[in-house]
């Protein structure tokens, strides 16, 4: 009655319907204005954050420690106090890949910086070991290609130093050619000219008859990118190959979140097929798949954080290495045990049938995951 009295005579500003509460029963718009003082907005933000925090406290511990608990709670209709399955999996996947990026970015950056420094500091001292003019020219071509790769993928500061490095290499090569009584190198091309690609091998165009022209052009572009990256990863010095591999790994990481999202509905379909006589809806199987994937992302996130913690602490306190190793080992064993217990508690079958289906689903999921990672790898190679 309080709500009816307080809003008596008021009409919805959006559709004009008489109000009987704080929300219009026709269009759903709130009676409260969005134009509020700043301190009201801060109060609402704090309230929202605290509410989310309370759901996190109620969601994450059972997700990690109680196999199948959250899924059974959703099946029983108790959902308000927990984070929704899709949002839970999505947020944990973002946190997981962000932590993975932090764990690998430093190594990748160090590898690229080391490679760039090595290439830019190369003054051609190994030309003295060349016993023929052809060998000198071959070594020079390799070094020029390495410098072009630094200019293509490196920073602006590295690109600015490429020109002088090329001149010093050519001078060292000419000196060795003079010692071998061979013809000097031809004059260098103008610096304003477009540099040749460091990837000399080009992919021949192919065409699939039943695909449109735009799709064939896209496939050819992807194939060329893969060829360029593979050439860079297999030619040149060791540092250059390592830098190319790091670039491809970065591209793969960028494709993984979307690829893992595709895996969820397919995994739910597997569960539907193996438990068809349980007569559960596909949406129920999808919730099982979302909670399973959310657990795996949380598990992987904790494993990454433990590994990073080990790298930070061990150089300063070597005694923590042994306990952290035990924690990682226990964490590795917990994932398969958790998924088995989750499957047993949700579908309530005997242990022999549960173990058999667990093995079959795990085997199919392994190949499905491998296929998804293979697709992500292909897209990453074309990065």
Q: How far apart are CA 277 and CA 283, in angstroms?
A: 15
For 180, the token pair is 């071998």
- Residue 211 falls within a domain, yes or no? no
At residue 298's C-alpha, the angle toward residues 294 and 299, to 5°, is 115
**pLDDT tens digit string along 106-138?**
666 556 666 666 766 777 777 777 788 888 888
**pLDDT confidence tier of residue 318, bands split at 50, 70 and 90:** confident
- Report the pLDDT value the prediction gives residue 132, as an integer from 0 to 100: 81
Give the pLDDT confidence score for residue 1 in this predicted structure: 39
The verdict on residue 217 lying in a domain is no
In this predicted structure, the answer to whether residue 364 has a pLDDT above a threshold of 90 is yes
In a domain, 4, yes or no: yes
Q: Is the pLDDT of residue 2 over 50?
A: no
Element (H, E) at 210: none
Band of residue 202 on the pLDDT scale cut at 50, 70, 90: low
Contact 67, 39 (CB under 8 A): no
pLDDT at site 315: 79
Range of the domain at 25: 1-32
Question: What are the tokens at 214?
Answer: 């735009």
Work out the pLDDT band at 329, boundaries 50, 70, 90.
very high
For residue 315, what is the DSSP state? Answer: T
**Would you say residue 63 lies in a domain?**
no
Tokens of 368: 């499905």
CB-based contacts of 166, cutoff 8 Å, min separation 6: 144, 147, 188
**For residue 371, what are its two tokens?**
């296929």
Average pLDDT, the chain: 78
Beta-bridge mates of residue 169: none
Cβ burial 310-341 (10 Å sphere, 16+ → b, else e): beeeeeeeeeeeeebeeeeeeeeebeeebbbe
Q: Indicate whether 22 belongs to any domain.
A: yes
Is 119 exposed, middle or buried, given 0-12, 13-18 or 19+ CB atoms closer than 10 A?
A: buried
Ranges 144-158, 300-314, 326-340: which has the least confidence: 144-158
Of 26, 22, 28, the C-alpha closest to 10 is 22
Q: What's the pLDDT score for residue 187?
A: 67
Q: What is the pLDDT of residue 101?
A: 75
Contact of 314 with 321, CB cutoff 8 Å: yes
pLDDT at 236: 60
Evaluate whether residue 26 is within a structural domain: yes
Q: Answer whether residue 285 shows pLDDT above 50.
A: yes
Radius of gyration from C-alpha coordinates of the chain: 30
pLDDT tens for 149-192 read: 665 554 455 555 777 777 787 888 878 778 877 778 776 544 44
Structure tokens at 188: 């260098």
Spatial separation of the C-alpha atoms in residues 107 and 150, rounded to whole Å = 18
Q: Tell me what the mean pLDDT of segment 214-220 comes to.
A: 77
Of 295 and 379, the structure prediction assigns the larger pLDDT to 295
Under a CB-based contact definition with an 8 Å cutoff, are residues 346 and 71 in contact?
A: yes
pLDDT at 191: 41
68 pLDDT above the threshold of 90: yes
Q: Where are the alpha helices (DSSP H) in 180-281?
A: 213-234, 238-274
How many domains in the chain? 1
pLDDT of 199 strictly over 60: no
Query: pLDDT, tens digit, for every residue of 31-49?
Result: 776 666 776 666 666 555 5
Helix 321-347 × helix 351-381 angle, to 10°: 120
- Report yes or no on 27 lying in a domain: yes
Cα four-point dihedral sign 103, 64, 45, 14 = positive
**Hey, which of 112-116, 353-357, 365-369 has the most confident mean pLDDT?**
353-357
pLDDT band at 218 (very low <50, low <70, confident <90, very high): confident
How far is the C-alpha of 197 from the C-alpha of 153, rounded, in Å?
12
- How much of the chain, in percent, has pLDDT values that exceed 90? 27
Give the model's confidence band at 74: pLDDT under 50 very low, under 70 low, under 90 confident, else very high.
Answer: very high
* Least confident residue range of 21-25, 40-44, 263-267, 286-290: 40-44
Answer whether residue 24 is part of any domain: yes
55 pLDDT higher than 80:
yes
pLDDT at 17: 84
CB contact at 8 A, 246 and 232: no
């Amino acid at each position: 009655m309080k709500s009816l009295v307080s809003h008596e005579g008021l009409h919805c500003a959006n559709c004009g319907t008489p109000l009987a509460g704080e929300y219009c029963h026709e269009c759903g718009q709130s009676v409260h204005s969005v134009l509020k003082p700043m301190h009201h907005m801060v109060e609402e933000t704090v309230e929202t954050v605290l509410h989310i925090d309370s759901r996190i406290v109620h969601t994450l511990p059972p997700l990690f420690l109680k196999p199948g608990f959250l899924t059974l709670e959703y099946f029983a209709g108790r959902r308000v106090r927990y984070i929704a399955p899709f949002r839970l999996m999505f947020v944990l996947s973002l946190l997981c890949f962000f932590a993975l990026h932090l764990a690998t970015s430093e190594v990748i950056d160090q590898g690229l910086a080391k490679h760039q420094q090595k290439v830019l500091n190369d003054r051609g001292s190994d030309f003295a070991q060349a016993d023929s003019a052809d060998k000198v020219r071959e070594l020079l071509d390799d070094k020029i290609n390495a410098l072009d790769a630094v200019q293509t993928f490196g920073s602006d500061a590295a690109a600015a130093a490429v020109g002088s490095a090329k001149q010093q290499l050519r001078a060292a090569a000419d000196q060795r050619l003079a010692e071998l009584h061979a013809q000097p190198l031809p004059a260098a091309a103008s610096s304003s000219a477009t540099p040749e690609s460091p990837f000399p091998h080009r992919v021949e165009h192919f065409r699939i008859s039943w695909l449109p022209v735009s799709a064939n052009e896209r496939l050819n572009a992807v194939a060329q990118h893969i060829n360029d990256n593979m050439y860079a990863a297999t030619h040149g010095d060791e540092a250059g190959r390592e830098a190319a591999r790091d670039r491809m790994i970065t591209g793969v990481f960028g494709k993984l979140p979307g690829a893992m999202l595709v895996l969820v509905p397919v995994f739910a379909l597997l569960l539907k097929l193996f438990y068809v006589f349980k007569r559960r809806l596909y949406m129920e199987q999808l919730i099982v798949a979302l909670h399973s994937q959310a657990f795996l992302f949380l598990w992987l996130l904790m494993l990454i954080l433990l590994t990073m913690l080990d790298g930070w602490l061990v150089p300063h306190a070597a005694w923590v290495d042994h306990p952290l190793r035990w924690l990682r080992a226990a964490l590795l064993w917990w994932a398969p045990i958790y998924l088995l217990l989750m499957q047993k508690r949700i579908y309530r079958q005997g242990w022999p049938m549960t173990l058999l289906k667990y093995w079959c689903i795990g085997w199919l999921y392994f190949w499905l995951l491998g296929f998804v990672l293979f697709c992500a790898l292909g897209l990453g190679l074309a990065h």
